[in-house]
Structure 1
Amino acid sequence: MKKCMFVLLILSLFLTGCWDRRELNELGITLAIGIDKVEDEYQVTAQVVVPSEISAKTSTGRSPVTLFQANGETVYEALRKITKNSPRKIYPGHLRTLVLGEDLAEEGIAESLDFLSRDWELRSDFFVVIAKDMTAGEVLNVTTTIENIPANHMFNTLKTSEAFWAATNGFLLDELIANLTIDGKEAVLTGILVTGEKMGSSKQNVESITPSAQIKYDELAVFKKDKLVGWLTERQSRGYNGIVNEVQKTVTAISCPEKGKATLEIIQFDSKIKGKINKGKPEVDVNIKVKGNVGEVECQINLNDQETIVRLEKNTENKLEEIYNMTIETVQKQFKSDIFGFGEAIHRSNPKEWKKIKKQWDEEFPEMTANVKVDVKIVHTGTEGNSFLDEIEVK
């Protein structure tokens, strides 16, 4: 009998509940967090789901999310202080988007990221973006269409944009921290802003065909260490993503052999950066291979002629090389921040030489040579041969 009791006692140890178990109705499910710097304090804005409004049975037509905001000496403190006006503890385990204010980014983002990288409740599969010309709190205070939860709208829009348009890039927290800490590479983040009226929090904002305020992704923000030092243009953002091999699919307008424009849909993209030391100086080769389809023709050309295809390919190569060279030169001279990872490429190819120049890389990077070579192949010309515009011209 005693032996049976002892066995039951041991088994009972494995039947205890989870030590960190919490009821769902005790948590404020937070899908987006904004962090701003207000004077000497952090201001944290949490976009929290309203459970009754995301259920078809209990919805009353009110906003599916609400905002809570608090200030603190640290991010963690501010987040906890939200409980002063929130009936539930903020739970960021399902976070989709982290928005950092531009003022905070200019001062430095590293300290504000420590809590987010350390908290065991947080997964790292959320995007980090920079609020441009406004606070993070203002970005989170806008209602959205199609996706009625703004955090999901922001997440899915960036995911779609980076897949089909080469000017944006979705960086996860782990990727951002890696870029902030790795030798020979600086970080970039995609910008986010509100167009139209700055405050679009009312229900009326999504009741019209064209909302008065809309969330939009902008160009890439350039960092030096953990501080924001400037913004790329859209053209330069496309150039950056091409150089670092972050293009999935996109389109680009090119000049026809004589006059007019055509559009090439890029369906396959591969960029390789190889570092080397040439005559004692660091140098990189950027070799890019592109495959694409003719997606649009606004000129009179014969697509059945192989020579025409070759000229289109050459025009595309020249345009892309111009964009990439211009992007590199601008970043070297204006920002002096190695966002391309050229230093990392030198390190991979020649660790001994990198060790010698590592401490002087801020001076070496703006003067180094980058050799860009683009090879373009047009695979298909679409379902049509020559454009019907030819027939209109001869009428």
Structure 2
Amino acid sequence: MKKLSWLLIIVVFIPLLSGCWNRRELNELAIVAAVAIDKAGDKYLVTAQVIDPSQVSTNANGGGRAPVTTYSDKGDHIFEAVRRMTTTTPRKLYFSHLQMLVISEEVAKEGMNNTLDFLTRDPEFRNDFYIVVSRDIKASQILKNLTSIEKIPAHKMRSSLETSEKAWAPTVAIQMDELISALTSDGNNPVLTGISIKGDEPDGQTIDNVERIEPYARLKYKNIAVFKKDKLIGWLNEKESKGYNYIKNNVSNTVGPIPCEKKGELIVEVIRSKTKVKGKLINGQPRIDIYISSEANIAEVACQIDLTDPKSIRKIENNTDKVNVDVLQTSIKKAKKLGVDIYGFGEVIHRADPKAWKSLRNNWDQEFVQMPVTIHSNFKIRRTGTVNQSFLKKE
């Protein structure tokens, strides 16, 4: 009797163990690599960049077709526009492999809440795709530009964003979960990297664009978009964007010019950088201290200087400290002009004095504009390169 009972239990649960009840075959799906969201009047215009598997597989032998194609449609809501695309797509769109989301400047200024609600609510979307803002061009045009080296433009956008963030610094690679965290936290506002097209936009959409040594058009990341909650209110330039990343402890490698003692410049390559932000209240007023420690190598010399002299090295370090302080101050000055805390200073004050934060949080942006920020820079030169003396000195 006991064995019969176990047998009945097994029979009942066997159908529940099946892992293929909701399977979808690959040949039934259109894999979406990137999505662009624009405004078309009062409606949303959604564009999907879909991969053509026959053109990107290892056994592909060409055929003159583009590796991706785009589908677009309009709707009062994002999901409505996505479903309307099924009238033109040969397969149902599949978003689990999404790499990039491009939001137009117009949508960003209006507010991203409607867009983000759909993307976070639909279980098919993961949180590991990057979000950028198209500047001076429609987001849909970004997805139509064919790219060299990387066949799939979305892959190019992703790798280029990650590389520029690590090696250059004035860009930020923001994923969905990071954006939502910034939107929902007190004392912080989100930022996103801007993207545009450099060159002849219409010719960039043709297959000829990737068959030339110098393409007609290239995708280019440029500047950082500043938001007040979910609405775009302004942009940081390259210098201000680099200052933002320094403050956020997001610089692992970058380069920059440093003035020499007499005339000319030399280029230093930052190889390590660490920033600590500390907050405190003095007589009830918040203050921020930023401590930045950086190490660098001398990468290029375009002035007359004796790199074997310790005094020269110390002068370079002092000049670099001044440059670093100026870069960070310039960034903070711009953020204060826009009236938003994008650095998370509010969160720092909250951790330093939770009780005082309760009275500051409701008017934090105004407090941020008036708050003193002191920058402490400690810069060290580690290597001067394989040549001690520049040939300019010999001449």
Same fold (TM over 0.5): yes
User: Is 1:362 matched up with 2:378?
Assistant: no
1:39 to 41, 50, 56: 41
User: Is 1:20 matched up with 2:28?
Assistant: no
**Cα distance change on mapping 1:18 and 1:254 into 2, 3 Å:** same
SS of equivalent residue, structure 2 residue 205: coil
Q: Cα offset for 1:349?
A: 0.4
Q: Identity of counterpart residues, as a percentage?
A: 45
1:242 to 239, 243, 246: 246
Is the CA contact 1:53–1:61 (under 8 Å) kept in the aligned structure 2?
A: no
Q: Cα offset for 1:72?
A: 1.2
SS of equivalent residue, structure 1 residue 138: helix
Q: Distance in 2 between matches of 1:293 and 1:304?
A: 14
2:312 to 303, 308, 318: 308
User: Is 1:118 matched up with 2:156?
Assistant: no
Q: Cα offset for 1:6?
A: 3.4
User: Is 1:175 matched up with 2:178?
Assistant: yes
User: Is 1:353 matched up with 2:363?
Assistant: no
1:157 aligned residue:
160
Matches within 5 A, 1:1-395: 3=4, 6=8, 9-10=11-12, 12-13=14-15, 15-58=17-60, 59-199=62-202, 200-333=204-337, 335-391=338-394, 393=395
SS of equivalent residue, structure 1 residue 309: helix
Q: Write the deviation string for residues 160-185 of structure 1: whole angstroms up to 9, x where unpaired.
A: 10010010110001001111111000
Query: Which residue identity is paired with 2:331?
Result: T
Query: Which residue identity is paired with 1:164?
Result: A
Q: Cα offset for 1:220?
A: 0.1
**Cα distance change on mapping 1:357 and 1:213 into 2, 3 Å:** same
Query: Which residue identity is paired with 1:44?
Result: V
Q: Distance in 1 between matches of 2:126 and 2:239?
A: 33
Q: Cα offset for 1:80?
A: 1.3
SS of equivalent residue, structure 1 residue 120: coil
Q: Distance in 2 between matches of 1:5 and 1:275?
A: 66
Q: Cα offset for 1:18?
A: 2.5
RMSD, aligned CA: 1.6
Q: Cα offset for 1:13?
A: 2.4
Structure 1's unaligned 5+ residue stretches are none
Q: Distance in 1 between matches of 2:213 and 2:271?
A: 32
Is the CA contact 2:56–2:151 (under 8 Å) kept in the aligned structure 1?
A: no
Q: Distance in 1 between matches of 2:321 and 2:71?
A: 50
Query: Which residue identity is paired with 1:313?
Result: E
Q: Distance in 1 between matches of 2:253 and 2:78?
A: 37
Q: Cα offset for 1:141?
A: 0.8
SS of equivalent residue, structure 2 residue 244: helix
Q: Distance in 2 between matches of 1:111 and 1:21?
A: 30
Q: Distance in 1 between matches of 2:357 and 2:114?
A: 28
Q: Write the deviation string for residues 35-77 of structure 1: whole angstroms up to 9, x where unpaired.
A: 1122221111000001111124344231010000111121111
Query: Which residue identity is paired with 1:132?
Result: R
**Cα distance change on mapping 1:50 and 1:280 into 2, 3 Å:** same
SS of equivalent residue, structure 1 residue 296: strand
Q: Distance in 1 between matches of 2:114 and 2:87?
A: 24
Query: Which residue identity is paired with 1:226?
Result: D
SS of equivalent residue, structure 1 residue 46: strand
Q: Distance in 2 between matches of 1:229 and 1:13?
A: 54
Is the CA contact 1:251–1:263 (under 8 Å) kept in the aligned structure 2?
A: yes
Structure 1 stretches of at least 4 aligned residues deviating more than 4 Å after TM superposition = none
Is the CA contact 1:343–1:361 (under 8 Å) kept in the aligned structure 2?
A: yes
Identify the range of structure 1 (9-18 vs 290-299) with the bigger mean alpha-carbon deviation.
9-18
Aligned length in residues:
391
Is the CA contact 2:294–2:380 (under 8 Å) kept in the aligned structure 1?
A: yes
Q: TM-score, normalised by structure 2?
A: 0.96
Q: Cα offset for 1:330?
A: 1.8
Q: Cα offset for 1:79?
A: 1.0
Is the CA contact 1:300–1:390 (under 8 Å) kept in the aligned structure 2?
A: yes
Is the CA contact 1:46–1:67 (under 8 Å) kept in the aligned structure 2?
A: yes
Q: Cα offset for 1:121?
A: 1.6
Is the CA contact 1:264–1:293 (under 8 Å) kept in the aligned structure 2?
A: yes
Q: Distance in 2 between matches of 1:283 and 1:7?
A: 66
Q: Distance in 2 between matches of 1:94 and 1:236?
A: 33
Q: Write the deviation string for residues 20-49 of structure 1: whole angstroms up to 9, x where unpaired.
A: 211111110001000112222111100000
